[in-house]
Structure 1
Amino acid sequence: MTAVKQIEASARAQVGKGAARAVRRQGLTPAVIYGGGAAPEAIALDANKTRLLIYGGHFLTTLFEISVDGKKTRVIPRDYQLDPVKDFPIHVDFLRVAAGQTVTVEVPIHVVGQDASPGVKNGGLVQIVEHTLEITVEPEHIPEAFEVSVAGLQIGGTLEASVIKLPQGAKLTVGSDATIVTIVPPMVDEEPAEAEAEEVKA
């Protein structure tokens, strides 16, 4: 399960595009904490540390505790924007989360067991239908990823969402019969005779 990570932040007195640009010039990333029945709180984060957190993976499924002037708030990132040219973070949205509250997140799916799949050994290809699976879960129980094994699958075999072992109290937002991964037949090259016939027509 995802561990709670700590972030230091400072309060922002000014909001708006001009104020946000001024914050970025100081090497900071403007952000906002919202939800939880309280007013939105404008904050600023260290831009370099924020970039490392985003590119470190699992950012949108990680539970954070943000400290602003000694006041700590438990949050989960809901969105972020990157500069289209330089790829550094220009804004982050955080949602306040309370004990017992659930959030909806997309968890990555990791496929394993290809070496033990008869279908793959016979030339079949692993086709990942869903790269993530959306669940509703308490933030403390968000998994970093779901691992599904295709070991034993023949060509034409599939795995559905029902094979996923969900964390405590979690629920799928899709049907349990939703296909996650399947083993498809190998690609067949065009028959030489047909290819030659097409060339003659041309």
Structure 2
Amino acid sequence: MQFNATSRSVQGSSASRRLRRAGRVPAIVYGGDAAPLSVELDHNEIYHALRKEEFHSSILSMQLEGKSSQVLLRAVQWHPYKQQVLHVDFQRVAAGQALHTKVPLHFVNAEASPAVKLSGAIINHVLTEVEVTCLPNDLPQFIEVDLGNIIAGASIHLADVKAPKGVTFPGASDIVIATAIAKPGGAAAEETAAE
């Protein structure tokens, strides 16, 4: 995914307010060997890009003064009640340098699992994203979690998820990412009522 940026020379809160009134968003690009760089973005372009999941978990191509740079979205500041982006942080990406970032989890086959089909359980997604470490070329847009074999009352831990090639999960592997919670008065209660 790519987006356009323009260099900004004037900084400070009053300059940022003027930018926002003009439909622009102040942003910063940091990391790598170069000094932090202040840029500005078109509000509508970045607002619509931020609504796409892959924009948050992909290596982005920033077009700045005819040059393309690889960056990763790090932080977004939103207005407390308006649909307005106030500030964006990007980190430069170096090809041989490992990244530490969060990637969304996509849960599949929940409806086909014994927990849902046989027990009428509810699948609870404890985590919706997970911390990963990998090289930029190995960064996945999402990680798929197969819930096809989960039974009622069981949990799926991070250790049960197969990491894509070149990706590792730093930290504890016993973190619960999904559980199958039996509904009160589910299938077992219906059988008792039928007797």
**Shared fold (TM-score, shorter chain, > 0.5):** yes
Aligned residue runs from structure 1 range 126-137, under 5 A: 126-137=123-134
When the two chains are superposed, the root-mean-square deviation of aligned CA atoms in Å is 1.8
Matched with 1:39 is: 35
Aligned partners of 1:85, 1:29: CA distance in 2, in Å?
17
Could you tell me how far 1:178 is from its partner in structure 2? 2.1
Moved over 6 A (4+): none
Task: Report the counterpart of residue 200 of structure 1 in structure 2.
Answer: none
Choose which of 66, 74, 81 in structure 1 pairs with 2:77. 81
Work out the CA distance in 2 between the residues paired with 1:86 and 1:72: 31
Question: Aligned-pair distance for 1:13?
Answer: 0.8
Aligned to 1:176: 173
User: Is the counterpart of residue 104 in structure 1 residue 100 in structure 2?
Assistant: yes
CA distance in 1, matches of 2:61, 2:149: 42
Query: Which residue of structure 1 aligns with residue 88 of structure 2?
Result: 92
| Deviations, residues 45-96 of structure 1 (Å, cap 9, x unaligned) | 1110000110122332121121221232211010011112222211110101
After TM superposition, the score normalised by the length of structure 1 is 0.84
Q: Which moved more, 1:73-82 or 1:51-60?
A: 51-60
Extract unaligned runs of 5+ from structure 1: 190-202
**In 1: Cα distance, 2:94 partner to 2:64 partner:** 17
Distance 2:183 2:126 in 1: 17
How high is the TM-score relative to the length of structure 2?
A: 0.87
Deviation sequence 1:81-114 (CA, Å, 0-9, x none): 1112222211110101111112222212222212
Q: 1:44-193 alignment to 2 at 5 Å?
A: 44-121=40-117, 122-188=119-185
| More displaced stretch, 136-145 vs 73-82 | 136-145
Q: CA deviation at 1:188?
A: 4.2
Q: Note if contact 2:143-2:164 (Cα within 8 Å) is conserved in structure 1.
A: no
**Residue segments in structure 2 that go unaligned for 5+ positions in a row:** 187-195
Larger radius of gyration: 1
The answer to whether residue 11 in structure 2 is matched with residue 15 in structure 1 is: yes
Counterpart in the other structure of 2:191: none
CA contact (8 A) 2:57 2:142 kept: no
**Code of the aligned partner of 2:62:** I
Structure 1 position 124, deviation (Å) = 1.6
Equivalent AA in structure 2 for residue 65 of structure 1: S
- Give per-residue Cα distances to partners, 1:144-172, cap 9 Å, x unaligned: 22221221322122222123232332210
- What is the identity percentage for the equivalent residue pairs of Structure 1 and Structure 2? 34
One-letter amino acid matched to 2:162: K
**Counterpart of 2:171 in 1: which secondary structure?**
coil
Matched residue SS, 1:162: helix
Contact 1:60 1:79 in 2 (8 A): no
- Assess if the C-alpha contact under 8 Å between 1:60 and 1:105 holds in 2: no
Matched residue type, 1:153: I
